[in-house]
Amino acid sequence: MTATAPNSTPVLSKSVPPRSLTPDAEALGSCSSLPFDAGEGSSDTGITPSSTTGVSSASTTAKTSSSVPDTEYPKLPLHEFVWGEKLVRNTLPQAAIPPWLDPLHVDVDDPKKLPLCWYGVEFLPGLVFKYAERVGLAAYLKFTCAHMKEGDLDPFETWIRFTDWFEKKSGLKVDLIDVWGHEIPIMTVFSNHEIPRITDQMWRNACDLLDDMEFPDEFQLEWYLDRRLAY
């Protein structure tokens, strides 16, 4: 497995601002920019070893591939992630995934060699199930069960109907996943292992979904490390 130099550590990339702070937020919907760089490779390696301390520092002058569209940049070597190191756990959540966790920017033959990270938002069941009712996806109990009575919304069947419907519509599988940074599962739309197949339109479908559900602006899609991992 290819790894970075022993004294070279990935650096945090900057998060995009909330949509309420961006001038084009109304045009873009609930997200202000792609949560990953769709270009092939990047001039910003995210790794800048210090010649004096051996500790990496953030690069402030590197250009992105989008600013030089006709130039191809070498991909990053695969970082040697150490179990228990907490590098990824301490880096995330972020609105934009760091290049060293993005299979489009890392020289890796299988995205699954990167730590599993999820792009999602805090689960707000009240908004989700109200939306499902509004678009005709709700299911209702036909019998009394525990504290629920006949005619009440069936959250389990409604969730299945909603996720199946949205997957057919957008190609994205909504799920509830345990991640670092939240005590309860978050609502996810895709992982970093799926980035190579994610199109701009698929991402916009996810953003539009939050708008249609009327998620408050402070609830933003962000990247989180899967709770099962200790990287």
Write the pLDDT tens digit of every residue in 61-74: 333 333 334 456 79
Average pLDDT over residues 48-54: 30
Helix ranges restricted to H, 75-220: 87-91, 125-134, 155-170, 200-213
Average pLDDT over residues 26-53: 49
Give the pLDDT confidence of 180-192 residue by residue, as tens digits.
999 999 999 999 9
Instruction: To the nearest 10°, report the CA torsion of 140, 161, 227, 107.
Output: -170
**Rounded-to-5 percentages of helix, strand, coil across the chain:** 30, 10, 60
